[in-house]
Amino acid sequence: MKLELELDDSIDELIRYFQNTPETLQLAIRRSLRKLSRFAERRTLRALAREQNMTQKKLKELGRVKVNLLQQGERGSEGYSLVVWIGAWDIPAHYLGKPRQTKKGVRTGRHFWEGAFLMELVNASHSMVFKRKANWKHKYQRSKKSGRMMWMGLPLEKQTLPILNSAIQILEKLQPVLLERFATLMQQELNFIINGAGHA
């Protein structure tokens, strides 16, 4: 799930105004983009952590938020782009914190999985959180091992935290904020450079 922000429209007017001083403009753009990428990462992590009831540190550990700056011509982009990416696959419960079994379920970090239990699968390095499926029935399907048709399946379901809907909402709200922030940063950087305080 990603937001790719084309920034050329936002700087067209500035480009026309500073067309006789391209070095000044390029310096301001580079500085603004670096600051914008840090701003975008902070904003995204904060919003996602709040929505998912988990820490920003844990989201960073899981590599669920990445921000990339694309210069002109990079990865086929025609102009400057800022790419904000959120890994939207459901997060397995055991990644949210050290699983702890209680009488009523399992706690992982700030989340509680009622009726769940811990189980360590073969070849797994740690216990995972499972829960019995409601209204479960065997499925008649082909065995990958023997190739025969048989009734099979487990009445268990690995517990995960959905993230897709939160990611969609966050990226939708983020786009206008980033465009406004970029315009502000460009004005600040150009003022800083023009007033003689900036150095390449």
> What are the tens digits of pLDDT across the range 146-177?
888 876 667 888 999 999 999 999 999 999 99
Query: Is 200 within a domain?
Result: no
Residues 107, 40 share a domain? no
Residues 6 and 43 in one domain: yes
Residues 56 and 116 both lie in one domain = no
On whether both 113 and 183 belong to a single domain, the answer is no
pTM score, whole prediction: 0.77
Q: For 130-140, what is each residue's pLDDT tens digit?
A: 998 877 676 77
Domain total in the chain: 2
CB neighbours (10 Å) of residue 99? Answer: 21
Whole-number pLDDT of residue 151: 66
What is the per-residue pLDDT for 139? 75
- Residue 200 in this model has a pLDDT that exceeds 50: no
Closest CA to 129 of 90, 162, 101, 153: 101
**Same domain as 115, residue 82:** no
Structural contact between residues 157 and 130, judged by C-beta atoms closer than 8 angstroms: yes
Q: Is residue 199 part of a domain?
A: no
Same domain, 118 and 24: no
- Domain co-membership, 149 together with 173: no
- 27-40 in b/e form (b: 16+ CB < 10 A) is bbbebbbebbbebb
In terms of domains, do 25 and 85 share one? yes
Is position 58 within any domain? yes
Domain shared by 145 and 79, yes or no = no
The predicted structure's pLDDT at residue 126: 83
Domain that holds residue 121: 93-160
Residue 122 has pLDDT above 50, yes or no: yes
Both 24 and 69 in one domain: the answer is yes
Q: How many Å apart are CA 85 and CA 99, to the nearest integer?
A: 28
- The reply to whether 48 and 69 lie within a common domain is yes
